[in-house]
Structure 1
Amino acid sequence: MKISHLTSAEENLMKLFWTLQSFYLKDVMEKHTEPKPHQNTVSTYLKILVEKGYLSTIREGRIFKYTVLVPIDEYKKFLLNELCEQFFNQSGRELAAFLLKESLISQDDIKTYFDVPINTKPKKVKKPKLEYAEEILNPKKGKGRKKKKKKE
């Protein structure tokens, strides 16, 4: 099964459909949050999602019953693969590093999920050189101003 991209509106409706799994148009209209879209708008999106292969239909008399064909986990996997391909050079390692750097996940999250000890090296911070402060705080003998001898 080939998964294609969804528009933002299609994705928002699919989130509701994933919770329902199997439904009629009237179910969508009842469960949709306010502001509710017009019934014709929802009907159009249902038709598009059937054409894209996300939903299937069964005719029951004069109405259609819709069933989700693409599970949410498959769609998540599709989106994550696209993200890795487009922005992280197809590298899960780069993606994980980015998530850690942006604090979207923590090392504890990773340890808990994978049950694997993870040792990360803390960033090395160079100590600032305090040359002038050292001279002021710890003056060395013999150093200081030397008087110039005049040649006569």
Structure 2
Amino acid sequence: MKYLGRLSETELEVMEVIWQKQEAVTVTTLLSKFADKDWKTSTMSTILKRLIEKGFLTKSMEGKVNYYEATITLEQYRRYETQSFLNRLYNGKAKNFITALVNDDELNQKDIAELREWFKHEKGEQ
């Protein structure tokens, strides 16, 4: 997957709306979804410009209206972020992350049993 910039919390909020829509959106559409934030057109346009620069959106124009469309799906983004997280903090190894969870008492015996069953199911042992 191509390199993508890191998303801020606000950018992620906007992308989640775009992913949910699953079609090209306009500034007006997005402003209506974020009416509670009282954002101005210029604020939304700046966020969208950053998302284009980071590789998450493309922009097209029909008449005088700009349409913004995601370049990757939410699932692709999750995989990208997961791998980035593992690379940055755990030498790219899921085992190192799980070990940290166990060592920090973040996983209890029930969690471990559920994971064990999940792994068995994924390997087709059930």
If the length of structure 1 is used for normalisation, what is the TM-score? Answer: 0.65
User: Does residue 32 in structure 1 map to residue 37 in structure 2?
Assistant: no
Q: Which amino acid aligns with 1:90?
A: G
Q: Which amino acid aligns with 1:103?
A: L
User: Does residue 5 in structure 1 map to residue 6 in structure 2?
Assistant: yes
Q: Percent identity?
A: 21
Unaligned runs of 5+ in 1: 118-152
Preserved contact between residue 17 and residue 68 of structure 1 (Cα < 8 Å): yes
Inter-CA distance 111–39: structure 2 relative to 1 (3 Å threshold): same
**d(CA) in 2 for partners of 1:84 and 1:59?**
38
**d(CA) in 2 for partners of 1:12 and 1:99?**
27
Select the structure with the greater relative contact order (CA < 8 A; seq sep ≥ 6).
Answer: 2
Unaligned runs of 5+ in 2: none
Report what 2:52 is aligned to: 50
1:29-74 per-residue CA deviation (whole Å, 9 max, x = no partner) reads: 1122522322210011111211222111121100111111121122
Report what 1:19 is aligned to: 20
User: Does residue 102 in structure 1 map to residue 125 in structure 2?
Assistant: no
More moved, 58-67 vs 31-40: 31-40
Aligned length in residues = 117
The 3-state SS of whatever aligns with 1:106 is: helix
Inter-CA distance 97–15: structure 2 relative to 1 (3 Å threshold): same
Higher helix share: 2
What is the CA-CA distance between 1:75 and the residue it aligns to? 1.6
Structure number with bigger Rg: 1
Q: Which amino acid aligns with 1:65?
A: Y
Inter-CA distance 116–40: structure 2 relative to 1 (3 Å threshold): closer
